[in-house]
């Protein structure tokens, strides 16, 4: 614990996704005061046409959302 799930459009290389996961894990470990070995990160690719579902059904309904998106998905 903790576990982080990142959702993004496809198209990034495995190298870029690994670098992102490493940086996120390091920041989470430092900020929350846990060992880096306790942090796991998943990256789920979501096609652009499917993003409205993520936006409306997952992001905008999340009662624990600490960082609002700076965009709308209309």
10-22 pLDDT, tens digit per residue, is 999 999 999 999 9
Distance (Å, whole) CA 70 – CA 41: 23
Place of tokens 């579902």: 53
Question: Considering the chain, what is the average pLDDT of its residues?
Answer: 97
Q: How many CB atoms lie within 10 A of CB 28?
A: 18
- CA pair distance 23, 28, nearest whole angstrom: 9
Q: What is the pLDDT of residue 62?
A: 97
Q: Is the pLDDT of residue 30 over 90?
A: yes
Residue from 2, 10, 52, 69 carrying the catalytic annotation: 2
2 assigned to active site: yes
The domain limits of the chain are 3-59
Q: Does domain 3-59 have CATH number 3.30.429.10?
A: yes
Residue 74 clears pLDDT 90, i.e. is over it: no
């Amino acid at each position: 614990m903790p576990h982080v799930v990142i959702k993004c459009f496809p198209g990034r290389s495995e190298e870029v996704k690994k670098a992102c996961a490493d940086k996120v894990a390091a920041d989470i470990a430092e900020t929350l005061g846990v060992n880096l070995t306790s942090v796991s990160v998943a990256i789920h690719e979501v096609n652009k046409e499917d993003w409205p579902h993520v936006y409306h059904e997952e992001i905008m309904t999340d009662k624990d959302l600490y960082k609002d998106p700076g965009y709308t998905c209309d």
